[in-house]
Chain A
Amino acid sequence: MRQQGHSVETIAAWALALLWLLPVAYSLWSAFHPSEYATRFDLTAPLTLDNFARAWNQAPFARYYLNTVTLVTMVLAGQLVVATLAAYAFARFRFFGRDVLFALVLVQLMIMPDVLIVENYRVISALSLLDTIPAIALPYIASAFGIFLLRQTFKSVPNELVEAARVEGASSFGVLWRVFVPLAKTTYIAFGLVSVSYHWNNFLWPLIVTNSVESRPLTVGLAVFGAPETGVDWSVITAATVMTMGPLLLAFLLFQRQFVQSFMRAGIR
């Protein structure tokens, strides 16, 4: 009886899992088959890369890829530098105004740049940065979340290691670089994966501040390409969709464990 209950549950779990994969599986089906097969599921249907070729030729996806890669690299590099310095100060220095300042940093955790679109647009416009990649990146470079995560990690570094480095004559910057940064490797990986996923996928803010092929990331490029008024064939749109989500999906399939653990670490905080 017990055994039977178990197998019913296994079947239910598998059914739900297959249902969960259905949208992704469907997008792959439609992208890799001629458009006649978009809704006809025939296992003998010929495979083709034609939809990808057409999407690639109809819109500047190469440029969009370049923009997105530039964007996520810029955001991540900036975030790592800014958050490392700030977290070091919060974790290891006793200075005037520390607690007030930390509370002010945490404000960004509840009111994220994503909801301040109206005023941030004005700020970016005042800096005459509209329609550039730095305009998309700047509001996210100081990440309260990154500062918070790294501060936690830095706080757990044993004092003896810091003293030992000091005895050897390291400056406070040397201590940060040689002791703290190497010990926080897993935090850096967790934060990095979450940040790259977030900014690869981010849409509304880039949509607002970009207006040209030279600055548009993939997500915005996809939205422009797939808009109904363009009359592009459905199979070609799914091919573009697969191109947009492909790199991240592939990275996830290869490094599944790291992704799940990073999202968990980052979410729990």
Chain B
Amino acid sequence: MVSAVMSAAEPRAVRRRAWLTNANAWLLLLPAVVLLATFTHYPILATLYHSFFSLSRGGASEFVGLENYTYMLEDDVFWQVLRNNIVFAIATVPTSIALALLMAVWVDKKMAGRSFLRLAFFTPTVLPMIAVANIWLFFYTPNYGLLDQFLKSLGFAGHNWLGDPSTVMSCLAAMVVWKEAGFFMIFYLAALQTIPPELKEAAEVEGASRWYFFRRVTLPLLMPTTLFISINALINSFKLVDQLVIMTKGGPNNASSLLLYYIYEVAFTFQDTAFAATLTVTLIAILAAVALTKFVYLDRRIHYQ
């Protein structure tokens, strides 16, 4: 009798509690949901939507289907900035990773002044890109700049480094490698410290050379870190454009422009938001593809510890 009353009352109490939990959780999430919906999800959908419409300069915009996309595929500048972005990624990603690894191996050793070394390598990470661009701009200034003065003292002629389409990308890539390598170093450093010292001792007993040990033991063990850094560096190469605003404005003749910078120009200089939306869809697709690769290839647990 008593138990029958209990079992009738229980589901109601349970349901009430479940409802309260739900209400509680959703209330806690409300600010985040509203803000994310407004500034991430809605803009992504709106970008896609606007890419199918014509530009409304005062009048109404019309549905134009894939017209913006055909225009994009016929736009030489689009292909150039895409090519530039790939060149930029190829120039910066492997170089900064190799340097980061070298730095980490050095800092990890019992070397004289290793905390100074770590400081020196990491410092560029905390500086604003815009300040960095200002400093490096002066390095590359023709004749008066540091690089030309140095070359002149060795008897070489001056050169307009950022004004020459054949050198501008390398100059910008060198700067970005300088800015990023120290940041990636810290991930290698963390990974190196998890390699058990017994492995090294065993290898020494076996008479393995340091290079052999590095190649056959250290490098494979660092593989997940290398993948993780590569993906981050790749994403950065599509995200970092601050320097262009100060140093080249994408020039000369779009030789140094990157996709995000082109979007910025199309939207805010040429005021063509419909085409800018189309270009943004391309950028979102690239970033999503990179993120999915990360998801599929990187076993998350490796990094979570």
Which A positions have Cβ atoms within 8 angstroms of B?
9-10, 13-14, 16-18, 20-21, 23-24, 26-27, 30, 39, 81-83, 85-86, 88-90, 93-96, 98, 101, 104-105, 107-123, 138-139, 141-142, 144, 147, 152, 172, 197, 200-201, 203-204, 207-208, 218-219, 222-223, 226, 234, 237-238, 241, 244-245, 248-249, 252-253, 256, 259-260, 263-264, 267-269
Contact = CB atoms under 8 A, between A and B. Distances in A.
Contact of A18 (B29, B120, B126, B276): B120
A120 B268 contact: no
Interface in B109-133: 109, 111-113, 115-132
Given A9-B106, A26-B135, A93 B116 contact: no
Interface string B17-42: 00001101110110111011011111
Contact of B146 (A26, A120, A144, A203): A26
Contact of B117 (A13, A85, A93, A245): A13
Contacts of A269: 303-304
Contacts of B77: none
Could you tell me the dominant secondary structure of chain A's interface residues? helix
19 contacts: A16-B103, A24-B123, A24-B135, A27-B135, A101-B29, A116-B43, A117-B263, A118-B273, A120-B39, A122-B273, A138-B38, A201-B129, A203-B130, A204-B245, A219-B128, A241-B131, A245-B131, A249-B126, A267-B183
A142 B31 contact: yes
A119 B47 contact: yes
Contacts of B90: none
Given A142-B40, A203-B245, 6 more contacts: A16-B102, A26-B135, A30-B138, A203-B242, A204-B242, A264-B187
A85 B32 contact: yes
A115 B187 contact: no
Nearest to A115: B283
Cβ-closest 5 pairs across A and B? A110-B291, A142-B35, A119-B43, A201-B128, A17-B120
Contacts of A138: 35, 38-39
A92 to B, nearest CB: 9
Interface size class of B (residues with CB under 8 A): 35 or more
B46 interface: yes
A17 B17 CA distance: 60
Contact of B40 (A20, A82, A108): A108
B138 A268 contact: no
Nearest to A252: B126
Given A244-B128, A252-B123, A95 B47 contact: no
Contacts of B239: 112, 114-115
Which of A9, A105, A119: most chain B Cβ within 10 A?
Answer: A119
Contact of B25 (A89, A200, A241): A89
B84 interface: no
B241 to A, nearest CB: 6
A89 B50 CA distance: 34
Contacts of A234: 138
B82 interface: no
Contacts of B113: 14
B29 A85 contact: yes
B44 A116 contact: yes
Contacts of B182: 20
Nearest to B210: A5
A41 to B, nearest CB: 10
Chain B binding site: helix, strand, loop or mixed by DSSP? helix
A17 B116 contact: yes
A200 B126 CA distance: 10
B287 interface: yes
B110 to A, nearest CB: 10
Contacts of A263: 125, 183, 186
B267 interface: yes
A111 B40 contact: yes
A122 to B, nearest CB: 7
Nearest to B259: A115
B125 A268 contact: no
A203 B33 CA distance: 26
Given A115-B287, A118-B276, A264 B139 contact: no
B117 A115 contact: no
B11 to A, nearest CB: 17
Contacts of B264: 117, 204, 208
B127 A245 contact: yes
Nearest to A257: B115
Interface centre among A110, A114, A200 (most CB of B within 10 A): A110
A107 B44 CA distance: 10
A219 B245 CA distance: 12
Interface in B252-273: 260, 263-264, 267-268, 273
Interface centre among B38, B128, B277 (most CB of A within 10 A): B128
Contact of B246 (A90, A226, A260): A226
Contacts of A121: 267-268
B53 interface: no
Contacts of B117: 13-14, 17
